[in-house]
Amino acid sequence: MPRYAQLVMGPAGSGKSTYCSTLVQHCEVLNRSVQVVNLDPAAEYFNYPVMADIRELIQVDDVMEDDSLRFGPNGGLVFCMEYFANNFDWLEDCLGHEEDDYILFDCPGQIELYTHLPVMKHLVEQLQQWEFRVCGVFLVDSQFMVESFKIDDYSMVRFLPFDRTDEEGINIVLQHIDFAIQYGEDLEVKEPRAYHSSLMEPDVKQIGNMALLPLKTQFKGPAPRETKENDIIEEGIYYFKANVFFKNYEIKNEADRTLIYVTLYITECLKKLQKCSSRNQGEKEMYTLGITNFPIPGEPGFPLNAMYAKPSNKQEEEVLPLSFFVKVTNMPKIGCVQLVIIVEFHFMPDKL
């Protein structure tokens, strides 16, 4: 039967030895025999039993202390691995010839051993000659998965051989520099997209040039009952983070004016809530804002009067603030108090 090998690779400190130790413990629980071979001549400590340790063949410290070699840490490691590649018979003796073995090879982390030397390639070829089924396990720190730029940046790197005495080589390097400088110049700049209301319907009731749109309410009033899955308050909150940055918002219909009004209202809510230290205080601020303090189109304090038509009569002036913010569930609260509950869950979960 064939034997099996895992080459456990990865940068220094990525958890290769920890992985080997954990896998050994896991397989012991399953009554499965797994052996480990240490191939790092600079390793100092690992908490798993080994069937073979390269340090018994050669150690980095011994190489660095040899006055005839005068190697530093990296040079010493390279020397050790080249020495190991010339003595695979030592590894063969350590591995033996038992069938159905499963062996983990805890490899060193220095990248030069994989990019500049053929040692690991020769090791894989040798294991295959010994009838091992070989796979590679490459470990990286989990932080690389959270901060994707640590991986993405590598795709932007390209290495070119450069000989300053070769005119053609200089021209090639300069050409690639020009390509890098001009990269993306022919692409069209994508403008950020504004979100428009999807609730506009034919013959919708209006006040001025604002649409009275569906609200989820159990109480009769000037605003029509719910007719869609989402209402204007939910739509305004959902689009708030995108639309709040648009200074020149293109209005496509009357429902967009309502959406802008809701966006302004939520902005003012957040300003008030930032100063509140409790939920009760927040609800009081929202009650005051909705009843007395928030301006409507046509009033001097409203910031976008040029975009809105004034309410045509006193009745519309009284209806307008309540039409958009009566959002109740099972209690007859003013809509602005209910809005604070919605807003805090979307934007300020830790505040109140």
Question: What are the tens digits of pLDDT across the range 46-68?
Answer: 788 899 999 999 988 888 888 88
pLDDT at residue 164, rounded to an integer: 75
Least confident of 68-72, 82-86, 305-309: 305-309
* pTM score: 0.45
The residues that bridge with 4 in the sheet, in sequence order, are: 102, 133
Class assignment of domain 206-347? mainly alpha
Query: 38 vs 335, which has greater pLDDT?
Result: 38
The side-by-side arrangement of strands in the sheet containing 35-38 is: 52-53, 35-38, 102-106, 3-9, 132-138
Q: State the pLDDT at residue 293.
A: 64
CATH 3.40.50.300, applies to 3-156: yes
More confident residue, 68 or 83: 83
What is the per-residue DSSP string for 63-90? Answer: HHH-TTT---HHHHHHHHHHHHHTTHHH
Residue 146's pLDDT is: 65
Q: Give me the pLDDT at residue 221, please.
A: 44
The overall average pLDDT reported for the chain is 74
pLDDT of 247 reads 58
Give tens-digit pLDDT for 127-170. 999 989 999 999 987 776 666 556 555 445 566 677 778 888 78
Q: So what's the pLDDT on residue 347?
A: 41
Locate CATH 3.40.50.300 in the chain.
Answer: 3-156
What pLDDT is recorded for position 305? 73
Q: Which one-letter DSSP state was computed for residue 2?
A: -
**pLDDT reading at 185 higher than 50:** yes
Most confident of 267-271, 297-301, 320-324, 339-343: 267-271
DSSP of 188-215:
PPPPPPP---S---TT--EETTEE---B
Please compute the mean of the pLDDT values over residues 315-326 and round it to a whole number.
57
Delimit the CATH 1.10.1760.10 region(s) of the chain. Answer: 206-347
Distance CA 133, CA 305 (A): 75
**pLDDT at 217 exceeding the cut of 60:** no
Q: Does the pLDDT of residue 82 top 60, yes or no?
A: yes
